[in-house]
């Protein structure tokens, strides 16, 4: 019997209109366009401005686009998994809100917390519901409104992050396409270097947590950088070896957009030339769970049926991993 695989059959994406450029940031914190560009590769990022606007808005736009593109009745969707660290609320989940916003009344789902690896974790999870034959249409979303948890007085973090996200539709196929393999990892000891501790059950929101800025992202950049460079490269090479892929076999590396230098190091370890490495960090910055679906959205037109893509990410947790996909259309 042929194996059923989960094929990506559509992509949607959305970023807010408001642009926060490096020059804008020069007026807010002690930084320069030259520093940001040379250290990270970022020129500008998008910010979801205005009160009472959450990440569900980003997700809803992206999923609506995907449904419209494929002319799919929302009632046909079985499940929606949202990778995010900036849900609208503790509950209801962002998945619940998106399903209701778009009339996906037959769907259930949940949010998944894996920071920058949120999309690959969710993709691996969603693909299992298809492969087992349980469901026919699963939507996987990766999105974050990082501006909600960023301290715009902290130059070491505020220059990096932005808002945005995207979504993919997974459907079953008997062809040799879709999610072919994944390797995922986690190490909670990394939490000391990258975290947002306020508002959970250890430090519930209080005047003190606000005074101590515990509701913002804290990052020890260099420590995270070292782990990211090593682990993203290692897991990407491992997924190549497991699937007997040479650099020539890979059409595109779809890497998490945290820092151009981390991506360059990963591509180098994989032996990939620059033209096979997808980048859009210069326009969006690091949108956490949003980076990978935003890359798929931006470069969708360039992909051909049968192309080999390696998605790779590293982020808070620590979490990291790689997914090997054969493009299905
Ligand atoms: O996506 C989640 C996972 N996150 C990552 O993968 C991020 C990994 N880390 C990084 O990408 C980099 O560490 C950063 C981009 C965050 C920082 O780059 P870096 O080259 O590691 O800089 P650094 O932290 O070592 O700082 C170098 C200098 C310091 O000054 P001194 O001590 O040398 O005088 C910083 O104070 O740059 C200073 N600095 C800045 N200067 C201008 C830090 N932030 C800024 C800034 N503008 N925005």
- Domain containing 316 — which CATH number? 3.40.47.10
Instruction: Answer whether residue 16 is part of any domain.
Output: yes
Instruction: Name the domain boundary from 158, 175, 192.
Output: 175
Among the options 116, 177, 227, 231, which is catalytic? 116
Once rounded to an integer, what is the mean pLDDT over residues 220-230? Answer: 96
> For residue 175, which phi and psi values (nearest 5 degrees)?
-80, 170
Q: Are 242 and 305 within one domain?
A: yes
Look at residue 83 in the predicted model and tell me its pLDDT.
Answer: 98
Q: Are 197 and 237 within one domain?
A: yes
Q: What is the mean pLDDT of the chain?
A: 97
Per-residue pLDDT band for 133 (boundaries 50, 70, 90) equals: very high
The CA 279 to ligand 1 mean position distance, Å, reads: 20
CB burial of residue 3 (10 Å; 0-12, 13-18, 19+): exposed
Structure tokens at 221: 């950049």
Cis peptide before 318 (omega within 30 of 0): yes
Q: Are 136 and 258 within one domain?
A: no
Question: Is the CB of 85 within 6 Å of ligand 1?
Answer: no
DSSP code of residue 4: P
Would you call 22 a catalytic residue per the annotation?
A: no
Q: Are 125 and 190 within one domain?
A: no
Take atom 1 of ligand 1 and give the residue whose Cα is closest.
Answer: 258
Instruction: Answer whether residue 54 is part of any domain.
Output: yes
Is the pLDDT confidence value at 220 over 90?
yes
Take atom 21 of ligand 1 and give the residue whose Cα is closest.
Answer: 222
Once rounded to an integer, what is the mean pLDDT over residues 60-86? Answer: 98
The C-alpha atoms of residue 137 and residue 135 are separated, in whole angstroms, by 6
> For residue 62, which phi and psi values (nearest 5 degrees)?
-65, -45
Instruction: Answer whether residue 157 is part of any domain.
Output: yes
Is the pLDDT confidence value at 27 over 90?
yes
Q: Are 25 and 56 within one domain?
A: yes
Look at residue 218 in the predicted model and tell me its pLDDT.
Answer: 97
Per-residue pLDDT band for 256 (boundaries 50, 70, 90) equals: very high
Take atom 35 of ligand 1 and give the residue whose Cα is closest.
Answer: 156
Best residue for ligand 1 mutational test, from 41, 156, 196, 289 (most atoms within 8 Å of Cβ): 156
Say if residues 125 and 141 touch (Cβ distance below 8 Å).
no
Domains of the chain: total: 2
Instruction: Name the domain boundary from 128, 147, 175.
Output: 175
Question: Is the CB of 156 within 6 Å of ligand 1?
Answer: yes
Kind and range of the H or E run holding 112: strand 108-112
With b meaning 16 or more CB within 10 Å and e meaning fewer, what string describes 45-81?
A: bbbbeeeeebbbbbbbbbbbbbbeeeebebeebbbbb
Q: Are 197 and 167 within one domain?
A: no
% of residues, the chain, pLDDT over 70: 100
Would you call 256 a catalytic residue per the annotation?
A: yes
Look at residue 312 in the predicted model and tell me its pLDDT.
Answer: 98
Domain that holds residue 236: 180-281+291-326
Once rounded to an integer, what is the mean pLDDT over residues 3-32? Answer: 98
Structure tokens at 79: 């499940």
Q: Are 136 and 207 within one domain?
A: no
Q: Are 191 and 164 within one domain?
A: no
Q: Are 29 and 166 within one domain?
A: yes
Is the pLDDT confidence value at 1 over 80?
no
Once rounded to an integer, what is the mean pLDDT over residues 176-184? Answer: 97
Q: Are 136 and 65 within one domain?
A: yes
Instruction: Name the domain boundary from 119, 150, 175.
Output: 175
Would you call 185 a catalytic residue per the annotation?
A: no
Q: Are 233 and 263 within one domain?
A: yes
Instruction: Answer whether residue 224 is part of any domain.
Output: yes
Instruction: Answer whether residue 286 is part of any domain.
Output: no
Q: Are 160 and 233 within one domain?
A: no
DSSP code of residue 277: B
Index of the ligand 1 atom closest to the CA of residue 156: 44
Question: Is the CB of 22 within 6 Å of ligand 1?
Answer: no
Pick from 225, 215, 162, 161: nearest CA to 193: 225
Take atom 5 of ligand 1 and give the residue whose Cα is closest.
Answer: 258
Look at residue 2 in the predicted model and tell me its pLDDT.
Answer: 87
The CA 228 to ligand 1 mean position distance, Å, reads: 14
Provide the whole-model pTM.
0.97
Is the pLDDT confidence value at 236 over 90?
yes
Instruction: Answer whether residue 275 is part of any domain.
Output: yes
| SS3 at position 214 | coil
């Amino acid at each position: 019997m042929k194996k059923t695989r989960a094929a990506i059959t559509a992509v949607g994406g959305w970023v807010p209109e408001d642009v926060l450029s490096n020059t804008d940031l020069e007026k807010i914190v002690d930084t320069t366009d030259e520093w940001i560009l040379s250290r990270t590769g970022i020129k500008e990022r998008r910010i979801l401005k205005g009160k009472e606007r959450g990440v569900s808005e980003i997700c809803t736009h992206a999923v609506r686009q995907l449904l419209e593109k494929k002319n799919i009745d929302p009632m046909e969707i079985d499940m929606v998994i949202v990778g995010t660290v900036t849900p609208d609320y503790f509950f209801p989940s962002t998945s619940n809100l998106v399903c209701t916003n778009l009339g996906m009344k037959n769907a259930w789902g949940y949010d998944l917390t894996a920071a920058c690896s949120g999309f690959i974790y969710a993709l691996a999870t969603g693909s299992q519901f298809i492969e087992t034959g349980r469901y026919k249409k699963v939507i996987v979303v990766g999105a974050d409104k990082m501006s909600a948890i960023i301290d715009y007085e902290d130059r070491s973090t505020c220059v990096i992050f932005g808002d945005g996200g995207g979504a993919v539709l997974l459907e079953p196929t008997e062809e040799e396409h879709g999610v072919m393999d994944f390797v995922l990892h986690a190490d909670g000891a990394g939490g000391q270097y990258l975290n947002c501790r306020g508002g959970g059950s250890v430090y519930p929101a209080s005047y003190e947590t606000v005074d101590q800025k515990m509701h913002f992202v804290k990052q020890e950049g260099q420590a995270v950088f070292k782990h990211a460079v090593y682990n993203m490269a290692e897991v990407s090479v491992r997924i190549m070896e497991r699937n007997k892929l040479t650099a020539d076999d890979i059409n595109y590396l779809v890497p998490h957009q945290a820092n151009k230098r981390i991506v360059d190091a990963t591509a180098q370890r994989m032996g990939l030339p620059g033209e096979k490495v997808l980048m859009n960090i210069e326009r969006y910055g690091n949108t956490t769970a949003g980076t990978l679906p935003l890359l798929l959205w931006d470069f969708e037109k360039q992909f051909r049926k049968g192309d080999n893509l390696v998605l790779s990410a590293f982020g808070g947790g620590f979490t990291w991993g790689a997914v090997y996909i054969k493009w299905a259309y």
